Amino acid sequence: MSNKDIFQQVEEVINKLRPFLQRDGGDCELVDVEDGVVKLRLMGACGSCPSSTITLKAGIERALIEEVPGIVEVEQVF
């Protein structure tokens, strides 16, 4: 699978999760996917929320690992 295909699959999963982030005043931006590591930027309320690490690891990372073959981790970038 090409990097472009993986990027598109990751984007699809993030788009499914986005309404939950937006409901709480936040959002996220897909920055890059490199060697199975998804790089995300949390924005809005998510960027300053004390629970953002839990959202990133327990929510977004778990969904991406389950739904996109080859994804091993989600990393927050600033």
Domain segments of the chain as ranges: 3-76
Count CA within 13 A, CB hemisphere, residue 19: 2
Determine the pLDDT at residue 3: 84
Count CA within 13 A, CB hemisphere, residue 77: 12
Structure pTM?
0.92
CATH topology assigned to domain 3-76: GMP Synthetase; Chain A, domain 3 (3.30.300)
Determine the pLDDT at residue 42: 95
According to DSSP, the residues that pair with 26 across neighbouring strands are 44
Q: What is the pLDDT of residues 3-58, one digit of tens each?
A: 889 999 999 999 999 999 999 999 999 999 999 999 999 999 988 888 898 999 99
16-21: long-range contacts, CB 8 A cutoff, minimum separation 24: 16/63, 17/59, 17/60, 17/63, 20/59, 21/46, 21/55
Which residues, 6+ apart, have CB-to-CB distance to 35 below 8 Å?
Answer: none
